[in-house]
C-alpha cells in the first residue's frame, strides 16, 4: 500500500492566532499548526486538509507541520477534516486525496484482516488468499482480493518460533503466527471475507475461515462552529456547533 495510517494517533490542529474581538473565533490568515504521534519512524508524513494535500514533512522524524489555514464548507466558521498519513520517500509528493475515505453517503473504508495460522496448517504452507462476497452474502472463491499471494514467510523469514504462543496460552510454534492484510476502499454495507491457506502449487490446505463485517461510512463532521460566549476576566470561551447528522 502506497500510504498508511497505521500507528498514527493524537492528530491535533491549532490556529496560530485567535481573534475574538468581533465575538467569534477566526483562524489567522497565515497558517495552522498540525501535530501528531506516529510509530512509523522510517516514513515521511503528509497532511491533508479537507481531502487536499496541504503539506509534507521535511524529515521522517518530524511530527509537526505548519500548513495553509483551511476554510471549511461553512466558510470561516465551517468544519475541516485534517488527516495525516505515512508514505515512503518516493511518494512524498504523491497526492492520495482521491483515495482517502469519503463521508457518509459517499464512501466506506478499508478493512484490516488479522488471522492466526492455527494448528490445521501443515509444513507445505506457502501463502494465503483473501476472498469476499461483494456484499452478496456468498463468498466468491474464483477471484482473490489480493493481487499477489500473501506470503506465509515474508522475505523468507517465518513469523513463528517455538513457544510463540506462551505456555498454556494460544497457539504454539507455527500455530501462533499471526498475519494481517488490508483491503482497498470498499463500499459501506455487510461484507463477508474468507482467508484461504495454500501450498506452493496453489492447493488449499484447509477449509476457508470466513467472517462477516459491517462496514460503516465515515460520518460527516459537525458544522457551524461558533463562539457561544467569552469571559475576558477568566479568558474562558464556550463553543457551540451543529452535530453530525450521521451520529
* pLDDT > 50? residue 211: yes
pLDDT at 93 over 80: yes
Q: What angle do CA 26, 30, 33 make, to 5 degrees?
A: 85
* Right CATH for 3-105+219-242 from 1.10.10, 1.10.20, 2.160.20, 2.60.40: 2.60.40
Question: For position 73, what pLDDT does the model report?
Answer: 45
Q: Where are the domains of the chain?
A: 3-105+219-242, 114-215
pLDDT at 163 over 90: no
Q: Which fold has domain 114-215?
A: Immunoglobulin-like (2.60.40)
Are both 3-105+219-242 and 114-215 of the same fold? yes
pTM: 0.53
Sheet (strand 8-15) strand order: 8-15, 31-38, 64-68
Alpha-carbon distance of 55 to 58, in angstroms, equals 9
The dihedral over CA atoms of 83, 89, 94, 100, expressed in degrees to the nearest 10, equals -30
Query: How many other CB atoms are found less than 10 A from the CB of residue 18?
Result: 12
Find cell 496541504 and name the residue.
54
Amino acid at each position: 500500500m502506497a500510504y498508511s495510517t497505521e500507528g498514527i494517533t493524537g492528530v491535533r490542529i491549532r490556529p496560530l492566532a485567535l481573534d475574538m474581538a468581533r465575538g467569534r473565533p477566526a483562524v489567522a490568515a497565515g497558517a495552522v499548526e498540525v501535530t501528531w504521534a506516529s510509530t512509523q519512524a522510517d516514513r515521511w508524513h503528509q497532511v491533508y486538509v479537507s481531502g487536499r494535500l496541504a503539506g509534507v514533512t521535511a524529515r521522517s522524524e518530524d511530527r509537526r507541520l505548519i500548513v495553509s489555514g483551511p476554510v471549511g464548507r461553512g466558510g470561516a466558521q465551517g468544519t475541516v477534516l485534517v488527516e495525516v498519513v505515512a508514505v515512503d520517500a518516493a511518494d512524498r509528493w504523491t497526492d492520495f486525496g482521491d483515495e482517502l475515505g469519503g463521508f457518509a453517503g459517499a464512501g466506506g473504508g478499508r478493512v484490516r484482516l488479522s488471522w492466526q495460522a492455527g494448528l490445521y496448517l501443515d509444513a507445505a504452507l506457502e501463502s494465503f488468499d483473501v476472498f469476499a462476497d461483494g456484499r452478496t452474502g456468498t463468498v466468491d472463491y474464483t477471484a482473490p482480493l489480493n493481487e499477489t499471494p500473501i506470503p506465509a514467510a515474508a522475505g523468507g523469514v517465518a513469523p513463528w518460533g517455538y513457544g510463540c504462543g506462551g505456555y498454556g496460552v494460544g497457539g504454539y510454534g507455527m500455530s501462533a503466527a499471526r498475519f494481517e492484510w488490508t483491503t482497498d476502499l470498499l463500499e459501506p454495507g455487510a461484507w463477508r471475507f474468507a482467508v484461504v491457506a495454500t501450498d506452493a502449487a496453489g492447493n488449499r490446505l484447509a477449509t476457508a475461515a470466513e467472517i462477516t463485517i459491517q462496514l460503516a461510512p465515515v460520518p460527516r463532521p459537525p458544522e457551524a462552529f461558533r463562539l457561544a460566549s467569552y469571559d475576558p476576566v477568566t479568558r474562558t470561551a464556550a463553543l457551540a456547533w451543529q452535530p453530525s447528522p450521521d451520529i
